[in-house]
């Protein structure tokens, strides 16, 4: 795939993503009087995240992951290399596991921190 075609595909993908998210944002928007820093800030995007998570981990995500792996296998046979298969398999697994990773990163809290620091005492034995 040439760089020109790759740019076209990337632009079309970004445009489709914006078209899918825009109605959700507009439906949840109201008059913004100030910036909030509470945990509920950005709650209007919850339905968007739920939809994307459903797509990635549901049947659509499985079909996309399987397609990535299948295309990787075919490209690997054509190029006589397993790297294309590895990239396809990695992309498929990455797509399916992305919501879990994002939820783990942004859903973590510091309320367990004191217990974790008491349980993990690393020492070299000289103290």
Whether residue 6 contacts residue 13, with contact meaning beta carbons closer than 8 Å, is answered with: no
Predicted TM-score (pTM) of the model is: 0.49
Residue 80 has which token pair?
């006589």
The Cα 123–Cα 28 span in angstroms is 52
pLDDT category at 38 given cuts 50, 70, 90 is very low
Residue 85 is encoded by which pair of tokens? 């298969």
- pLDDT at site 35: 43
pLDDT grade for 118, boundaries at 50, 70 and 90: low
Q: What is the pLDDT of residue 36?
A: 46
pLDDT for 27: 54
Give mean pLDDT, residues 83-101. Answer: 87
Question: pLDDT value at position 33?
Answer: 44
Element (H, E) at 12: helix 3-28
Q: What is the DSSP string of 16-79?
A: HHHHHHHHHHHHH-----S---STTTTGGGHHHHHHHHHHHHSHHHHHHHHHHHHHHHHHHHHH
Higher per-residue pLDDT: 108 or 35: 108
Percent of the chain with pLDDT over 70: 52
The per-residue pLDDT for range 93-116, each reduced to its tens digit, is 888 888 888 888 887 666 656 665
The predicted-structure confidence for 7-23, as pLDDT tens digits, reads as follows: 666 666 666 666 666 55
Contact 99, 57 (CB under 8 A): yes
């Amino acid at each position: 795939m040439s760089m020109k075609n790759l740019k076209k595909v990337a632009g079309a993908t970004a445009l489709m993503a914006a078209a899918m998210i825009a109605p959700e944002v507009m439906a949840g928007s109201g008059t913004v009087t100030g910036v909030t820093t509470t945990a509920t800030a950005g709650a209007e995007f919850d339905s968007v995240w739920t939809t994307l998570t459903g797509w990635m981990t549901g049947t659509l995500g499985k079909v996309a992951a399987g397609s990535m792996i299948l295309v990787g296998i075919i490209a690997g046979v054509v190029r006589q290399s397993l790297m294309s298969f590895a990239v396809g398999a990695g992309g498929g697994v990455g797509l399916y596991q992305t919501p879990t990773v994002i939820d783990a990163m942004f859903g973590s809290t510091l309320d367990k921190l004191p217990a974790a620091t008491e349980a993990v005492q690393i020492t070299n034995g000289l103290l």
